[in-house]
Structure 1
Amino acid sequence: MGTSSVVVISAGLSQPSSTRLLADKLGAAVAAGTDVELTVIELRDLAHHITNHLLTGFPTGELVSAIKAVTEADALIAVTPIFSASYSGLFKSFFDVLELGALEGKPVLIAATGGSSRHSLALEHAVRPLFSYLKAVVVPTAVYAASEDWASAGSTELSGRVGRAARQLTALMAGAGSSSTAGKSVVKDPFADVLPFGEMMRARGL
């Protein structure tokens, strides 16, 4: 596999932000495992352009190149802060302005940051369903980093989750087929054939 393009999307609102810190950590982990070209998009810098697009229906300024980069990328790393038990409005608004089908079949690693580990399930009940609706192929491991995860005591566990998610994204990218549908590459999810837990139990007579 040649050099792949991976776009890292950070929806952090402050500078610096823990969201960008996690995004950089994930990008570095993916780059360590395969030959990739990383492009980082800070949604904070595109906020006005995103709002204008929602109002007018037309992208302007740097948003044009950001949309092009995401659409043409081989894979995405998408990181959002968690507000009110869900993704941020800025994060959702960016994906609202993408063309229908722009993420179809595209491998995506999802991640989030928050003040407390209590909000970690937002990745499963909010962020993962968003990308499933957009027909992206989301890696099984979602990475959540709470404030305590940046302390030395939690850094090992966080690094383990980051590494596992990065390896899964790399596996999806490596499994990307050369066939296409309507000009788009088709990615076979290597985790799609895993037998559901209920069927495993029935097969064992439990």
Structure 2
Amino acid sequence: MPRFLNTVVINGSLHRPSRTRVLLDEVTQRIAYDVALQTQFIDLVDLVPSIGTALSKEDLNPAAQQALQRIEQADFLIVGAPVFRGSVPGLFKHLFDLIDMDALTAKPVLLAATGGSARHGLVIDHQLRTLFGFFHALSLPAGVYATSGEIQDGKIASEALTARIELVASLSAPVLHGTLNQQRQHIAERAVA
């Protein structure tokens, strides 16, 4: 019986260190208080040399191919991207252009983003939700957006952001427990058959 959700956290930032990674780390840790996660991280900055020149999966180097495979095989995705000039980085979108069209169907996805100001906060609903809607993924009901002022020196520096992370985690937990229970039921049914 599965005891953990195979979770892949995707950091769409092209920089290291990354405020987006700080946010994703905090969200992942908070969700892990309520739901058992087996977590793997994928940082887009590590894949840039291969992703940037790839027109298909076959063009990717082995590390990038493995990253795509981990995304496609995950039970749960936590996805975050920085916002530049009202949009996510093109290479972040291109990473998902290479994902199999049916691989994310019904997969729960928690969406996160970071940006310089509150002006970009709607990127979660206007871009990320539509991207994962295309894949028929199950975007969780609330995402979390953080401004550069809310993450300082590699740490969450805002009580309001901490409260939003708590809210996102509490809203996500029932869906994730349901996903884990569904997996257990499928395994039990296969064992009986």
Give the shorter-chain TM-score range.
0.7 to 0.9
**Shift in alpha-carbon separation, 1:32–1:147, aligned structure 2, 3 A:** same
Please say which structure displays the higher CA radius of gyration. 1
Equivalenced residue count is 180
The gaps in structure 1 that reach 5 residues or longer are 181-206
Q: Does 109-118 or 158-167 show the bigger shift? A: 158-167
Change (3 A) 1:61 1:121: same
What CA distance in whole angstroms lies between the structure 2 residues aligned with 1:55 and 1:35?
A: 34
Aligned to 2:105: 104
Cα RMSD (Å) of the superposition? Answer: 2.1
CA distance in 2, matches of 1:67, 1:104: 15
Post-superposition CA distance 1:10-64 (Å, at most 9, x none): 0112210101111111111111212111111001110121123326744322112
Superposition map of 1:23-172 within 5 A: 23-54=24-55, 57-150=58-151, 155-172=158-175
Instruction: Name the residue aligned to 1:183.
Output: none
Higher relative contact order (CA 8 A, sep 6+): 2
User: Relative to 1, partners in 2 of residues 1:41 and 1:96: Cα closer, same or farther, differing over 3 Å?
Assistant: same
Counterparts in 2 of 1:21 and 1:154: CA distance versus 1, 3 Å:
closer
Q: Distance in 1 between matches of 2:168 and 2:57?
A: 37
Q: Gaps spanning 5+ residues in structure 2: where? A: 187-193
TM-score normalised to structure 1 length: 0.80
Q: Go from structure 1 to structure 2 and tell me whether the alpha carbon gap of 1:55 and 1:5 turns closer, same or farther (over 3 Å shift).
A: closer
Secondary structure at 1:99 match in 2: coil
Query: 8 Å contact 1:53–1:59 — kept in the other structure?
Result: yes
Amino acid at match of 2:164: R
